[in-house]
């Protein structure tokens, strides 16, 4: 059946896509990612491979990963390097290229990750590495850590990714690339290098820039203006030398203080620009009114994020769903008791995992709320504890709750780290009145356990800061409804009381809305009207699982961006 489904390759072309991203979340044990951006990149490439779309991926090889998180009994986070052996996952290749940085030559090596789709179609992902003997000690460290070091360090990493990436594709013989997809602005220097490759002396600069634009695609992922990289002109020039970036390109992409804005650089030279949810497109258009920005709503790779028991259940009742995840709409047919049993089995797996790594014993019959993501201010991790009295009243009078939290705070962001301390101080206040678990060192593995094993997925970002969010999509695939502020993807995914619940502050505060939903709707359903709760679980799969996946998303990119 698998074979028949993929007799034909989807696009009728030999053209290739080159997909660039600063982080790449392919498998939990390979610490080349931080959060949603990297996991999305990995999920996207997996679906491109499933759909047999000729693609190569480009990223950096971080020998010391992002960081390993340790949290003490007061919630104080410390970090150590993530030691891993790239040989376990990747094949070092012979090819090298050089890049001029600060007037000296830096050699860039490359490792290949062979990503295989369903029918064994292969998408190679190239991880660039400056940790080579030819390089001086400083240059060797450029690709050490993901998102670490100062601005200048970051800029050098972006030089390796953007400029080194284009040169490496040439060295590896990838000459049929018609789409250079910049997933976030970190790789936008590729436009500068690509122009040098395609520059035609017989044409004027405008025509050459038009040719460049014709080859590039840009996806923006943030709503936070500060998250768009900007680099001082002096820094750019000392790294790349004066005049490396053509004046036209620089001027078009610089801010009032002549800093190079990487988002503008990418947007100016892309023929297609998109945000990652419809609302995010609107927010991006407000930030960047001079560009056409479209919306392609994110998704998740179903085969990566489905739990074992749900997979079995789906495969029995909806054969073929893995190759064609939109078939999950037939989840409306799943027998409620079987769905429940699969869910409980996955919940049991989560509980066992927590016992192993944390020593805490949660109860499989207690309503369990999960919250896992990067710890950062706008995501407001301890939001639900801000009125403990109300929460405890619901807990005691309506039905018991238990909580699972996880997430890393960036080691350079003091305020983000304090969010974990705040969570711990609430845990301390709650004492043994309520079980709250914090799992150290959030990863794709922990995310997988959580999004397949809790009863409710909580997300309360400060509106309108969430570009999309994808963890709630992973939960929906596993039949777990979300309770979330109406932002990002949830504006599209929330059908109130059918797929989950919105935190709606129209007539009350956000906190009241959250507690009222729990008290009057969600927890009574869970404990007293279980059949209604199960109905919502089923809808979460059939309505959201069947849509918010990267198979659908990649097809949108194919038709609207890559091969339009």
Ligand X SMILES: *Cc1c(COP(=O)(O)O)cnc(C)c1O
Q: Is 368 in the site for ligand X (CB under 6 A)?
A: no
Q: Which residue has the tokens 């923006």?
A: 220
Q: Is 469 in the site for ligand X (CB under 6 A)?
A: yes
Q: Quick one: 64 or 167, whose CB is closer to ligand X?
A: 64
Q: Quick one: 82 or 193, whose CB is closer to ligand X?
A: 82
Handedness of CA 31, 194, 284, 293 (dihedral sign): negative
The CB-of-24 to ligand X minimum distance in angstroms stands at 12
Q: Is 471 in the site for ligand X (CB under 6 A)?
A: yes
Candidates 239, 444, 458, 542; binder of ligand X (CB under 6 A) is 444
Q: Is 209 in the site for ligand X (CB under 6 A)?
A: no
The CB-of-51 to ligand X minimum distance in angstroms stands at 21
Q: Quick one: 161 or 444, whose CB is closer to ligand X?
A: 444
Cβ distance 79 to 146 under 8 Å?
no
The CB-of-165 to ligand X minimum distance in angstroms stands at 24
List CB contacts of 533: < 8 A, sequence separation 6 or more. 525, 526
How many C-beta atoms lie closer than 10 Å to residue 507's C-beta?
7
The CB-of-467 to ligand X minimum distance in angstroms stands at 9
Q: Is 46 in the site for ligand X (CB under 6 A)?
A: no
Q: Which residue has the tokens 């995840």?
A: 325
Question: Residue 519 has what DSSP assignment?
Answer: I
With contacts defined by CB under 6 A, name the span among 33-41, 154-162, 257-265, 307-315 that binds ligand X.
Answer: 33-41
In angstroms, what CA-CA distances link 121 with 1, 84, 118? 16, 27, 7
Burial (Cβ within 10 Å: 0-12, 13-18, ≥19) of residue 245 = buried
Q: Is 109 in the site for ligand X (CB under 6 A)?
A: no
The CB-of-223 to ligand X minimum distance in angstroms stands at 13
The CB-of-459 to ligand X minimum distance in angstroms stands at 6
The CB-of-121 to ligand X minimum distance in angstroms stands at 24
The CB-of-108 to ligand X minimum distance in angstroms stands at 27
Candidates 269, 340, 442, 501; binder of ligand X (CB under 6 A) is 442
Q: Is 525 in the site for ligand X (CB under 6 A)?
A: no
| One character per residue 391-430, x = contact with ligand X (rule: CB under 6 A) | ----------------------------------------
Strand partners, 368: 402
How many C-beta atoms lie closer than 10 Å to residue 163's C-beta?
24
Q: Quick one: 142 or 419, whose CB is closer to ligand X?
A: 419
Q: Is 381 in the site for ligand X (CB under 6 A)?
A: no
The CB-of-353 to ligand X minimum distance in angstroms stands at 15
Q: What are the residue ranges of helices labelled H in 199-277?
A: 205-213, 233-240, 247-253, 262-268
Candidates 26, 39, 318, 540; binder of ligand X (CB under 6 A) is 39
Cβ distance 548 to 474 under 8 Å?
no
Q: Is 447 in the site for ligand X (CB under 6 A)?
A: yes
Q: Quick one: 16 or 544, whose CB is closer to ligand X?
A: 544
Q: Is 36 in the site for ligand X (CB under 6 A)?
A: yes
The CB-of-49 to ligand X minimum distance in angstroms stands at 19
Q: Quick one: 169 or 458, whose CB is closer to ligand X?
A: 458
Candidates 19, 22, 35, 503; binder of ligand X (CB under 6 A) is 35
Cα separation, 12 vs 562, whole angstroms: 12
Q: Which of 522, 544, 527 is nearest to 475 (CA)?
A: 544
- First CA to last CA distance, the chain: 30
Burial (Cβ within 10 Å: 0-12, 13-18, ≥19) of residue 134 = middle
Task: Kindly report whether the peptide bond that precedes residue 464 is cis, defined as omega within 30 degrees of 0.
Answer: yes
The CB-of-110 to ligand X minimum distance in angstroms stands at 25
Strand partners, 549: 300
With contacts defined by CB under 6 A, name the span among 232-240, 275-283, 438-446, 539-547 that binds ligand X.
Answer: 438-446
Q: Which of 63, 151, 60 is nearest to 99 (CA)?
A: 60
List CB contacts of 532: < 8 A, sequence separation 6 or more. 525
Q: How many residues contact ligand X, by CB under 6 A?
A: 13
Strand partners, 401: 367
Candidates 452, 470, 478, 513; binder of ligand X (CB under 6 A) is 470
Cα separation, 44 vs 33, whole angstroms: 14
| Tokens, residue 108 | 């860039």
Task: Give the pairing of strands 104-116 and 456-459.
Answer: unpaired
With contacts defined by CB under 6 A, name the span among 74-82, 336-344, 443-451, 495-503 that binds ligand X.
Answer: 443-451
Q: Which residues bind ligand X (CB under 6 A)?
A: 35-36, 39, 373, 442-444, 447, 459, 469-471, 474
């Amino acid at each position: 059946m698998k074979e028949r489904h993929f007799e034909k390759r989807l696009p009728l072309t030999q053209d290739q896509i080159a997909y660039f991203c600063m982080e790449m979340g392919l498998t939990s044990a390979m610490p080349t990612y931080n959060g949603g951006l990297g996991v999305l990149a990995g999920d996207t490439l997996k679906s491109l491979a499933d759909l047999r779309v000729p693609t190569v991926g480009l990223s950096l090889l971080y020998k010391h990963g992002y960081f390993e998180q340790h949290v003490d009994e007061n919630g104080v986070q410390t970090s150590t390097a993530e030691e891993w052996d790239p040989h376990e996952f990747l094949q070092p290749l012979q090819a090298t290229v050089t890049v001029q940085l600060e007037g000296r030559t830096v050699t860039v090596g490359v490792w290949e990750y062979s990503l295989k789709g369903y029918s064994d179609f292969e998408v190679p992902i190239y991880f660039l590495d400056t940790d080579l003997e030819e390089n001086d000690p400083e240059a060797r460290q450029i690709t050490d850590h993901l998102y670490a070091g100062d601005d200048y360090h970051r800029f050098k990493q972006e030089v390796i990714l953007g400029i080194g990436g284009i040169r490496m594709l040439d060295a590896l013989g990838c000459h049929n690339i018609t789409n250079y997809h910049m997933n976030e602005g970190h790789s936008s220097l590729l436009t500068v290098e690509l122009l040098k490759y395609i520059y035609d002396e017989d044409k004027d600069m405008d025509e050459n820039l038009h040719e460049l634009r014709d080859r590039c695609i840009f996806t923006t992922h943030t709503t936070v203006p500060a998250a768009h990289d900007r680099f001082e002109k002096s820094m750019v020039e000392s790294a790349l030398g004066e005049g490396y970036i053509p004046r036209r390109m620089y001027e078009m992409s610089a801010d009032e203080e002549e800093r190079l804005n990487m988002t503008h650089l990418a947007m100016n030279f892309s023929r297609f620009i998109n945000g990652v949810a419809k609302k995010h497109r609107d927010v991006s258009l407000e930030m960047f009114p001079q560009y056409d920005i479209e919306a392609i709503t994110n998704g998740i790779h179903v085969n990566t994020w489905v739990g074992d028991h749900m997979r079995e259940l789906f495969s029995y009742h909806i054969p073929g769903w893995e190759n064609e995840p939109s078939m999950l709409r037939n989840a409306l047919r799943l027998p409620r008791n079987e769905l429940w049993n699969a869910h409980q089995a996955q919940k049991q797996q989560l509980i066992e995992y927590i016992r192993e790594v944390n020593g805490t014993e949660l109860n499989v019959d207690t309503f369990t709320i999960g919250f896992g993501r990067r710890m950062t201010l706008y995501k407001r991790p301890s939001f639900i504890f801000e009125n403990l009295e109300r929460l405890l009243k619901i807990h005691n009078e309506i039905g018991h709750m238990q909580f699972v939290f996880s997430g890393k705070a960036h080691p350079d962001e003091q305020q983000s780290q304090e969010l974990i301390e705040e969570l711990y101080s609430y845990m301390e206040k709650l004492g043994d009145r309520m079980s709250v678990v914090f799992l150290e060192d959030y990863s794709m593995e922990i995310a997988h356990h959580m999004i397949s094993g809790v009863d409710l997925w909580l997300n309360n970002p400060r509106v309108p800061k969430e570009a999309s969010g994808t963890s709630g999509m992973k939960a929906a695939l596993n039949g777990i409804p979300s309770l979330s502020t109406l932002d990002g993807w949830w504006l599209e995914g929330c059908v109130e009381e059918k797929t989950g619940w919105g935190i709606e502050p129209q007539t009350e505060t956000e906190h009241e809305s959250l507690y009222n939903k729990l008290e009057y709707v969600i927890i009574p359903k869970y404990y007293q009207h279980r059949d209604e709760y199960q109905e919502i679980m089923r809808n979460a799969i059939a309505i959201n699982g069947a849509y918010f996946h990267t198979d659908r998303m990649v097809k949108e990119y194919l038709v609207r961006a890559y091969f339009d």
